[in-house]
Structure 1
Amino acid sequence: AVNNSGKTPLNLIFHPAHDSIVARMPNSLTNAQRALVSHVAMMEYCNKDTSSSGFQQNKKNIISNPHAAQHKQECQKELNELSKIKVNGKGILNVLIDNDSTRFANHPTVASIFESCEKDFPIYYPFIKSSIEVGI
């Protein structure tokens, strides 16, 4: 999303007002920044809504911030691991993104992922867990 000033949420949190607490944290990412970078990485990985100007602007913001770029690489690793897991021939990531978790909620693979997602997928476990819980 882009506001009337042409700014995206990532613009606002990567380039905050000088007196904000985020401006005083140059060596790390806030939870909000991590969440937004993780979301952008997942959308890009799945080729969802990647052509908008806001998305392109967000990608530039991530590239320009070394901590965000590093977090995106970590996200990509996790997404690659998730993509290897299949449920009836369909990748688990696609099952979760396409809201097919209701259909597969009782599948043994989905149950196994639900039990171990916090340990195995620390970046995306909140998304995985909530997507599966919706399907149960």
Structure 2
Amino acid sequence: MSFNESQDIFSPTDPFGDFDFSRPRPRVNGAKLRLPQLPGNFVTLPCSLHRWVNETCIEVKCSDGVVVKVTVPKGTVLIGPYLELIVLVYGPTQLELAYRPTEMGNSLDMSIVNTVICLMWAHSDIFFDSSQL
């Protein structure tokens, strides 16, 4: 998927424009991403930034220590060390940021509204025991 400034970068995974928060999303960790029923689904991924791979890809460390790659729009800015991302799962190691940042939480850099990952600041429960899922 290619991103450019004139295109609504979220239209392929968000065809109706607004994210339906009434539908539950599994809150997963790295091990759970390997479940066969997840590809093609949207999930909430609690994680921390591990490193930038390139300008359209980041590695995030899941709460169980597994590192996975997430495709993000070019020009994305991350705010804070802990993230809770809504992603579309293509496979165990193929994830893509799925929804408009303005709909994801409470901390935005408004200078580039369409290409910012919004995050929810870490709370004590962001790292959890996978046995509780």
Report TM bin, short chain. Answer: under 0.3
Using the size of structure 2 for normalisation, the TM-score is 0.25
Which has the higher relative contact order, 1 or 2, with Cα contacts under 8 A spaced 6 or more apart? Answer: 2
Give the structure with the larger helix fraction.
Answer: 1
Pair member with larger Rg: 1
